[in-house]
Structure 1
Amino acid sequence: MLASVIRLPFAAVLRITRFRWMGACVLLLALPLAALAQGGAAQAPAPVRFGILPLGGAFESRNDWDPVLADLSRAIGRPVSVLSVTSYEALEQAIQRNEVDMAFLSGRMALDAVTQRRMQVVAQVTRHDGLPGYRALLLARKTGPLNTLSGLLADPERWRLARGESRSVSGFIVPQLQLFLPHHIAMETRFVSEVVGTHQFTALAVANGEADVATNNTADFERFRGQFPVEAARLHVIWESELIPHAQIVVRRDYPAELQRKVQAFLVDYARGKGPRGDAERANLKALHDLAGFLAADNSSLLPAAKLAYQLARQSAMTAQWVNDAARLNRLQRIDSSYAEQSAALREPGRH
């Protein structure tokens, strides 16, 4: 999928021009001439490049994060630039290319960043409901031909699915693991058609009659209700999952320890103060997916995500077709061994 990529420093912007090329929406930023004129001056500190998990539109996500990241920039004394994309895949590719120094990621992507891309967890988000996580959902139209879970499971080949990308915990991994595979339904192959996108995209697809059922989650559906009340009123929940741990903030492992401490201290203290400044910070977080704040965390906070990935791999292996039982057993043993090694690494002191 082509992605809209937004990289902009927290500096004055004269103009944003939108155009389309090869089907991708690209945002061009015209920077002040003064900034260009300073090219020959002393080198400023390199910006911290912050990658944003695509929960809504790329431009909307960037705007939501702007106030918090502007405060972060002041706190650590370095500019912060934003990478906002339209897909999990685009963000994953940017991390692989070392174009991201710090990121807001859900469990599976954070797990991959830590175990494969030399990043580490510094904080985990909290929400106003006080719960340690959120739940995956399935949405259907209240008045559509499909409005019950039993109807979905009885004849999946009849229905059109709108789901998240394969790295999305609530948009794919948890529904596949906790609902569909136990009923011998593979999300990728059993439905008459499928479309893949953000949680906002999947909810709109069902609300507008372009799909019959959508994966989503409690946090994003609550946000969807506020942004699209007319469309949300057409939908209802037909299934919800067990609790899923909240997303994490990860930072490059090779960043100086002092900078990592500053980042973590900023996040942990953010929106906890009194007075106008604290009120403004709390308003920033509430607009940002209704977050309440951040808790100090390390790589061990990814153990639930590792367990989910392990369970999904085992469930997929158990339901797949194999040439013989020995091949299946060999695959399961490799899955068990990999999970044991991963869990030990996430608990290892000094790596978080």
Structure 2
Amino acid sequence: MARWLLAGLVACVLVARPVAASPPPDRGTHIRALTFGILPMGGPTESLEAWRPMLDDLSRALHLPIHSLSVSTYEGLGQAMAEERVDFAFVSGRLALDAVTRDRMQVIAQLTRTNGSRGYYSLLLVGKDSPLHSVDDMFRQPGRLRYARGEVLSVSGYLVPETQLFANRKLDSDTFFASVMVDNHQNNALAVANNEVDVATNNTADFERFAKRFPDQYARLRVLWTSALIPHAVVVMRTDLPAELRQRVTAALTSYGKGRNAAAELAKLQLIHDISGFSPAGNETLVPFADIEFNLDRRRVYSAQWVSDSAMQTRLRRIDAEHEALIRQLMAPTRP
């Protein structure tokens, strides 16, 4: 228990100490600069270095300085958006839902990959020589295995495996395993490779990046399970910024890697990892992520203990109503 509490305290410290590439901009009466928030990929410094070349190009195209902010956790980025410390950000679908419904932001673009894929997949990783050869093998060992997962806001690191694997069996991963470690995809994969845990969540995009950075450790790993397709991450932007500016940012972002400097720009996108650019998108892009949350909430209801069937049905009706309202909000036209 002491170790668990210490890990929580460390996570809180990481949230409170974002890594910024430069001082926050002076908002003033006019927009003098923009701040871009970066979804954690590996470490915050690594993420800043990967995004900086593309952001410098966007800055020149917009004739506006673009500062950047990278944090160690999903919660840290969510907090930065809630406090309006970022103007636009690259985020997972789950973070984007909060940004759109709570933080006055809207989806303006969605990541595209070089291979033309429509999304990516959540993974469960085990050691190459692990005795686990299927998820059934894993589920036959309650309370015996060590688990590493992503934060609760991570779609591939928590929400999808929790929905598609554990909740389907009326289980909670946090109580099924002997121990649970919460970290980013890179560190979780390293934990399996170094035999610190038995099973870890990951995703196909991050696992490809891991293979290039840590080839020796990659060779020690094996994929145990692959999820259904997850739509790519998105870029969200504050709706209280001037409409003309939002339109310019969207145009610059979605045209990047497609014009006369396409070859050089695509090379800079590759630094982020096999990104071919960004396509125009709106809040409706988040419907699949809302459905993931909805399905997980309903499955948790069925696995919980209730004083009566009436109480359970009341909770289910509330979940249904909240989901329907969210879908209406996401499908509603957004102002330019």
Partner of residue 348, structure 1: 332
Q: Which amino acid aligns with 1:6?
A: V
Structure 1 portions without partners, runs of 5+ = 10-28, 30-38
Partner of residue 18, structure 1: none
Q: Which amino acid aligns with 2:315?
A: R
Residue 296 (1) aligns with residue 309 (2): no
**CA–CA distance in structure 1, aligned partners of residues 62 and 68 of structure 2:** 16
Give the conservation status (yes or no) of the 8 Å contact 1:207–1:232: yes
Give the conservation status (yes or no) of the 8 Å contact 1:264–1:296: yes
1:45 Cα offset (Å): 5.0
1:78 Cα offset (Å): 1.2
Tell me the SS of whatever aligns to 2:143: helix
Partner of residue 293, structure 2: 309
Give the conservation status (yes or no) of the 8 Å contact 1:136–1:217: yes
**Pick from 100, 106, 111: which aligns with 1:120?**
106
1:156 Cα offset (Å): 3.1
Gap change, CA 1:43 and 1:100, over 3 Å in 2 = closer
Could you list the per-position Cα deviations for residues 175-224 of structure 1 after superposition, in whole angstroms to 9, with x for gaps in the alignment?
A: 00011111222011111001111110110110111110000000100110
Residue 287 (1) aligns with residue 271 (2): yes
**CA–CA distance in structure 1, aligned partners of residues 50 and 30 of structure 2:** 26
Residue 336 (1) aligns with residue 328 (2): no
Residue 155 (1) aligns with residue 141 (2): yes
Gap change, CA 1:46 and 1:188, over 3 Å in 2 = farther
Q: Which amino acid aligns with 1:70?
A: D
Q: Which amino acid aligns with 1:103?
A: A
1:130 Cα offset (Å): 1.1
1:81 Cα offset (Å): 1.0
Q: Which amino acid aligns with 2:293?
A: A
Could you list the per-position Cα deviations for residues 320-350 of structure 1 after superposition, in whole angstroms to 9, with x for gaps in the alignment?
A: 1111111111111111000101100111113
Partner of residue 8, structure 1: 21
**CA–CA distance in structure 2, aligned partners of residues 350 and 195 of structure 1:** 39
Give the conservation status (yes or no) of the 8 Å contact 2:171–2:303: no
> Which aligned pairs between 1:56-205 and structure 2 lie closer than 5 A?
56-205=42-191
1:289 Cα offset (Å): 2.2
> Which aligned pairs between 1:18-57 and structure 2 lie closer than 5 A?
45-57=31-43
> How many aligned positions are there?
320
Give the conservation status (yes or no) of the 8 Å contact 2:170–2:299: no
Partner of residue 33, structure 1: none
1:306 Cα offset (Å): 0.9
Larger deviation, residues 138-147 vs 55-64: 138-147
Tell me the SS of whatever aligns to 1:125: strand
1:124 Cα offset (Å): 0.3
Gap change, CA 1:302 and 1:329, over 3 Å in 2 = same
Structure 2 portions without partners, runs of 5+ = 1-10
Tell me the SS of whatever aligns to 1:293: strand
**CA–CA distance in structure 1, aligned partners of residues 132 and 98 of structure 2:** 36
1:76 Cα offset (Å): 1.4
1:150 Cα offset (Å): 2.1
User: What TM-score, normalized to structure 1?
Assistant: 0.87
Tell me the SS of whatever aligns to 1:86: coil
Q: Which amino acid aligns with 2:20?
A: R
Q: Which amino acid aligns with 2:332?
A: E
1:351 Cα offset (Å): 4.7
1:43 Cα offset (Å): 10
Could you list the per-position Cα deviations for residues 62-116 of structure 1 after superposition, in whole angstroms to 9, with x for gaps in the alignment?
A: 1000011111111111111111011111111111211111110011100110011
User: What TM-score, normalized to structure 2?
Assistant: 0.92
**CA–CA distance in structure 2, aligned partners of residues 85 and 300 of structure 1:** 27
Larger deviation, residues 136-145 vs 164-173: 136-145
**CA–CA distance in structure 1, aligned partners of residues 214 and 97 of structure 2:** 32
Give the conservation status (yes or no) of the 8 Å contact 1:141–1:147: no
Larger deviation, residues 144-153 vs 177-186: 144-153
**CA–CA distance in structure 1, aligned partners of residues 83 and 220 of structure 2:** 41
1:147 Cα offset (Å): 4.4
**CA–CA distance in structure 2, aligned partners of residues 132 and 197 of structure 1:** 26
Give the conservation status (yes or no) of the 8 Å contact 2:21–2:48: no
